[in-house]
Amino acid sequence: MGLTIAQKIIQSHLVSGEMTVGSDIGLKIDQTLTQDATGTMAYLEFEAMGVPRVKTERSVAYIDHNTLQTGFENADDHRFIQSIAKKHGIWFSRPGNGICHQVHLERFGIPGKTLIGSDSHTPTGGGIGMLAMGAGGMDVAVAMGGGPYYISMPKMVRINLHGKLPAWVSAKDIILEVLRLLSVKGGVGKIIEYGGDGVASLTVPERATITNMGAELGATTSIFPSDEVTRAFLEAQGRGSDWTELSSDPDAVYDETYEIDLASLVPMAACPHSPDNVKTIDEIGKIKVDQVCIGSCTNSSYLDLMRVASILKGKTVHPDVSLAIAPGSKQVYNMLAQNGALADLIAAGARILECACGPCIGMGLSPNSHGISLRTFNRNFEGRSGTADGQVYLVSPETAAASALTGVLTNPQALGEESAIPMPEHFLINDNMIVPPAPAEEAGSVEILRGPNIKPFPTSGPLEETIAAKAILKVGDNITTDHIMPAGSKILPYRSNIPYMSNFCFAVCDKEFPERCRREGKGIVVGGENYGQGSSREHAALVPLYLGIKAVLVKSFARIHCANLANAGILPLIFKDKADYDAIDQMDELELPDIRGAIANHGKVIVKNVTKGTEFEAEAVLTDRQRAMVLAGGLLNYTRENN
């Protein structure tokens, strides 16, 4: 039987398990990446493992999230990461060099290789045919130490793209169409592979926009073939020798197949507050716009910003609109500066931000009260922009730029003829902001620089015989990691300070939650479908652990968050019968008798609702390895016990 692209990469990296859907597989990891908001914790965990040098082919530490530096905290963490990188064999991308996913695609990604990153948008690398997955910091630490990365073997989904996009419709509109079709949970447990004759018409940055936002489908990853377009991109990056061809076998078998006619697509937007709340621009109508933000790892490539510059050239941003633009990398920024496009953006009135995540993660540029913000980003979860009642619409760079000029949501197809933006034959290559690690023989003398913001991470003990705790919080469907552990400029600087962060846990849903946990000393969180969607931040598990959360009982989980809970030693459980969710009220007394025995022996997980006098069954969402991990009290304890 023929293989899909992903199955070929999995087969060549398989360390354990079998390639049958749902089985636990271990994969050899060739490359890792971290960013600073998850990196400090990941490197503290890496240090705790006691491995002197990374064992991957390439590991890169990026600084791109926490660049506001409103106090000493971020700068201290950056110095910590830089010194760790130097000592342990990791390349260091300095602040200002760009967003991890954009820079990794430009400078390090290689078709056919495996990559895990402590950021959920790591699948961006699928744009050049990498098997690139988001993971929790602990999993990245283990991979840096040479350990495999474990996932359950995903289903294979094929999306065939046919024909060519019409003028003014772009890659963002393709992925918004996929989100409309499949929803934010439609990709869970699946790898999305793109094929069909339309693929050849898409450049690598366009493909990367699509694989990037596959994270919003909940997919394990998304991937494009590696073809002549990929070769031309790598050659233009001076890395032609990294290219290999990669395609699926003609008789490859997919679990699901979808067809999209590119020519029939129109400009679209994801309306507040979910990336799958997709409507056409014309359906939404000419709503008044207060702010436009262009950038993020989804849409900040050279081609994206050249398109924006060509729309804004010689014009002025509408007086009621604030337009901010963050180029994705120093390479992009520098090229725009050299060819004059930057001058066009500045002249039009754009507020140019540094090459970083910026407003995408609420680091500045929060919209006004009730403000409508059009963003070329990938997430519009409630409150993520930093303004609780901000209304964020996710759009293409073309729609964003057109609307910035008119002051109302505008279909860019109204702009007339679209000018051609050619893919450069040579990108500007200058890696002077990427610091290589110290040679192994000098590593011993590198001092690790630790600031006072770094506090020890919480540890957990072995799983108790019986868990008895209240349903300390009950939430609904699609709870995101931004609900569980918000980011933004006030909280993000404290990613290495779990005690401080705990004051904000679930703040979006219930401000009393941290206080209640402290009073009760322990608790069980109850939730609906797709619990933990969004970010890979393991803080959404470590902070609840610190607050005494013993188990999370929901209808279904998002992949990375579920793994992060197990890594932290918190028990992830799903209702066997989803109707049992309705019968639990917040603060009901719950009991999981002999839970240790049930986890160890694959026994029935019984949940007693002591308050209501009822009882029902739940299931642990754990592989055999994760069972051992939870019994030991998390991945670090498990690794220590098994070394």
Cα(586)–Cα(473) distance, rounded to whole angstroms? 6
Sign of CA dihedral 119, 121, 125, 131: positive
- DSSP notation for 503-554: GGTTTTT-TTHHHHHHHHS-EEEE--TTBTBS---THHHHHHHHTTEEEEEE
The answer to whether 401 contacts ligand SF4 (rule: CB under 6 A) is no
**Are residues 117 and 34 in contact, defined by beta-carbon separation less than 8 angstroms?**
yes
Cα(279)–Cα(259) distance, rounded to whole angstroms? 19
User: With CB cut-offs between 5 and 8 Å by kind, which of ligand SF4, ligand MIC, none does residue 537 bind?
Assistant: ligand MIC
The answer to whether 483 contacts ligand SF4 (rule: CB under 6 A) is no
**Are residues 67 and 93 in contact, defined by beta-carbon separation less than 8 angstroms?**
no
From the list 433, 125, 111, the residue with the least C-alpha distance to 297 is 125
Residue (99 or 541) nearer to ligand SF4, CB: 99
Residue (99 or 323) nearer to ligand MIC, CB: 99
Q: Position of tokens 């200058």? A: 430
Tell which positions 285-344 bind ligand SF4, by CB under 6 A. 296-297
Residue 307 one-letter amino acid: R
Q: Show the binding pattern over residues 498-527: x = contacts ligand SF4 (CB under 6 A), - = does not.
A: ------------------------------
Q: Which stretch binds ligand SF4 (CB under 6 A): 17-25, 353-361, 410-418, 567-575?
A: 353-361
389 φ, ψ (degrees, to nearest 5): -105, 20
Token duo for residue 42: 């990941």
- DSSP notation for 129-159: T-EEEE--HHHHHHHHTT--EEEEPPEEEEE
Minimum distance between the CB of residue 586 and ligand MIC, rounded to whole angstroms? Answer: 26
User: With CB cut-offs between 5 and 8 Å by kind, which of ligand MIC, ligand SF4, none does residue 38 bind?
Assistant: ligand MIC
Residue (90 or 361) nearer to ligand MIC, CB: 361
Minimum distance between the CB of residue 131 and ligand MIC, rounded to whole angstroms? Answer: 18
From the list 464, 540, 435, the residue with the least C-alpha distance to 498 is 540
Minimum distance between the CB of residue 378 and ligand MIC, rounded to whole angstroms? Answer: 7
User: With CB cut-offs between 5 and 8 Å by kind, which of ligand MIC, ligand SF4, none does residue 99 bind?
Assistant: ligand SF4
Residue (376 or 567) nearer to ligand SF4, CB: 376
555 φ, ψ (degrees, to nearest 5): -80, -40
User: With CB cut-offs between 5 and 8 Å by kind, which of ligand SF4, ligand MIC, none does residue 296 bind?
Assistant: ligand SF4
Residue 456: DSSP 8-state: P
Q: Show the binding pattern over residues 31-70: x = contacts ligand SF4 (CB under 6 A), - = does not.
A: ----------------------------------x-----
Q: Which stretch binds ligand SF4 (CB under 6 A): 8-16, 135-143, 357-365, 455-463?
A: 357-365
Q: Using H for helix, E for strand and C for coil, what is the string for 467-487?
A: EEEEEEEECCCCCEHHHHCCC
The count of other CB atoms within 10 Å of the CB of residue 310 is 17
Q: Show the binding pattern over residues 118-137: x = contacts ligand SF4 (CB under 6 A), - = does not.
A: -x-x----------------
Q: Show the binding pattern over residues 81-110: x = contacts ligand SF4 (CB under 6 A), - = does not.
A: ------------------x-----------
- Angle at the Cα of 440 from the Cα atoms of 434 and 444, rounded to 5 degrees: 105
List residues binding ligand MIC (CB under 6 A).
37-38, 65, 119-121, 134, 361, 487, 534-537
Residue (357 or 632) nearer to ligand MIC, CB: 357
Q: Position of tokens 């540890």? A: 459
Residue (536 or 626) nearer to ligand MIC, CB: 536
By residue count, the chain amounts to 643
Token duo for residue 116: 């895990």
> Which one of residues 144, 270, 271, 361 is an interface residue with ligand SF4 (CB under 6 A)?
361
Residue (38 or 248) nearer to ligand SF4, CB: 38
* Interacting residue ranges for ligand SF4, rule: CB under 6 A: 65, 99, 119, 121, 296-297, 357, 360-361, 377-378
